[in-house]
Amino acid sequence: MLTASRKSVLLNEVLHLAVKLHAERLRVHSTKARWVYPNSRMTGSASISRCLNVTTRGVDADMVLYVAAGPGLPTWAVPCAVDGHARPVAGAVQACVSDVDALLSGVCRVADVMAHALGLDVGEVASHNMLLGVPDVRGQRLPRNCRVFLRRVKGNEEALQAWETKGHGAADVG
């Protein structure tokens, strides 16, 4: 059940940290213009109503993310609208309330579904050479190869850095 306490954790901690994590690992840069919802019809999110100020005056945001939470439902996300350059600018997320109980797991899962809401799937990320097969982590052999999300560091240099949760360091890869 989505209690007031769980709702507070979801809104004030999980979503806040997930947005921060998502922005850090993709090195998201804010746009300069006020964002206005495209006039095109929303896809995949027919039951979500849009705020009037998002569709008329615009808001200071790069993307609008509609979030719903409920018990026992799988966590998923879908892009809802794209701009004239095919960049997703609106998405919907369904968050499983049980993920809220495990805060770190919830943050990582919500950050992942945010990436899906932005249209980033494994194929898209791999096409930009941002995935790496890893047979072990910190000396521990994994039962199967794990994919590590990579991000470019130091501007446009060729150095890549494997992203791990804060406090565990990051392995440099060539």
Q: Which of 168, 161, 173, 171 is closest to 24 using CA atoms? A: 161
pTM over 0.75: no
**Secondary structure (DSSP) of 99-140:** HHHSHHHHHHHHHHHHHHHTT--HHHHHHTT-EEEEEEETTE
**Residues comprising the binding site for Zn(2+)?**
116
Write down the pLDDT at residue 169: 36
Q: What are phi and psi of 19, to 5 degrees?
A: -65, -45
Give me the torsion for CA of 105, 111, 117, 123, rounded to 10°: -90
Q: Alpha-carbon Rg of the chain, whole angstroms?
A: 17
> What tokens does 33 get?
């213009």
**Residues comprising the binding site?**
116
Domain positions in the chain are 4-120, 125-173
Write down the pLDDT at residue 30: 62
Q: Running along the chain, 174 residues long, what does each successive block of 10 average in pLDDT? A: 76 77 66 60 48 52 73 75 73 70 63 72 67 63 50 38 35 34
Sheet holding 76-82, edge to edge: 64-70, 88-96, 76-82
Classify domain 4-120 by CATH number: 3.10.170.20
Write down the pLDDT at residue 79: 77
How many CB atoms neighbour CB 61 within 10 A? 14
